Structure 1
Amino acid sequence: MIDYLSQPLFIAGLGAFLLMGSELALGKYAVNFGLLMRQPFTPIIYALYYALLAIGITQLLLRGNLSIHEFSAQEHPLVIGLITGLSIRALARMNLYQFKIEGKTINIGPKTINDFMEGFFLKKISDNVDGLLIGEINTMIGKLPPLTLEEIDLLLRDGLPSHFSQEKRKYYVDKIKACPRPFDKYRYFAFHFGLQRLHQLPLLAQNFIHNPEAS
């Protein structure tokens, strides 16, 4: 049986996959990561791309017998695999050669391919999240009673996390009030506070039915 944890290429690929996967989970898509995972194919392929890139770079380093002072890649293959996997973001943005032809700059290296791949995958991921989020918001709006803009502001204010300080609450309330349309207000709220709080809004909106003066 193969001991995968002793294989430098596996370590490099796993490190890169986990690193780039966690970037999606903890980065700009974190609040709506649940939405992202409803269509997991694109984010998984995105992370796999970096894993394969890390494996390829590790293979080149090991075959090239990289040596820095007394450190040899051949003697420490697992270290090379780990470093490559965890630094894949920086490595993917490097260009090895650059030259000009008729005033045009031509780059050769991982960055050229990476710029295209990131642009394609991140746009597709963003479009997927936006499309699913719009559907969730429209479904939630269908469960709400008719509300004025002022009542929507109050509703979203009531939906903010209770542990927020007064200053933080005021910041988000002002941001919500600045959104011109009802849908924009709900979208801002959902993007920053997630679907769970979004789906609590119809219950909170009952206050505006039974007690229209609630504030």
Structure 2
Amino acid sequence: MKKESTLSLVEKIYQKLRLDIYSSKIHQGAMLTEREIADFFNVSRTPVREALRKLEQEGLITIIPKKGSIVKQITLQDILEMDQIRELLEPYVAKIAAQTIDVDLLIPLEKQLIDLKSKTPSQQNCLELLELDGQLHNAIMQFNSNSRINSILNNLRKSFNLIRLKGATSRYQDSINEQLEIIGALKERNGKAAEKAMFKHIEKAKKNRFKIIQP
């Protein structure tokens, strides 16, 4: 029971910090210390340390031994360059994956997206949509045999975690429709349609993102 309690505490701290970083309540470049977080949650440092490790694995922070943890920073130029790489690689990966992807992996995602479509774009629903988006991209990459491309895209997605929630509300319905279009093309094993749908998804997200974050 004690182990389960500790694990649930780690998850609680992790989810709270993660949401605060996503929503910019905790700003990029901010310093996080184990002591301050432990005091805030009224817990020992052990679950805090584990929660911070999870955030680091997700690409949201950098842990500096004996100093603390810094929320990673991302510039407009970083975002522009990452979007350019995604536009080149992800449509290609979707096209390749369409030939061999396990359709059974797509059906649960499709059902959850359809369910979200009937809901309002609350912060919780937007977070769930972002999770499904990540699952879809991961499912596609499973059926791309080029490990170097997959490694590049995985690293890019970690960097994008810092800004993924920005604009999620305004793109809620469009993003769902775009992901359903990608899934539809994949289920039909139509590589060209999957490639086109993925490019549209990335391009529209990019345009919306720049409207919001440009000074």
Assess same fold via TM > 0.5.
Answer: no
Q: Given the two structures, how large is their TM-score scaled by the length of structure 2? A: 0.21
Specify which structure has the bigger relative contact order, considering alpha-carbon pairs within 8 angstroms and separated by 6 or more residues. 2
TM-score normalised over the length of structure 1: 0.21
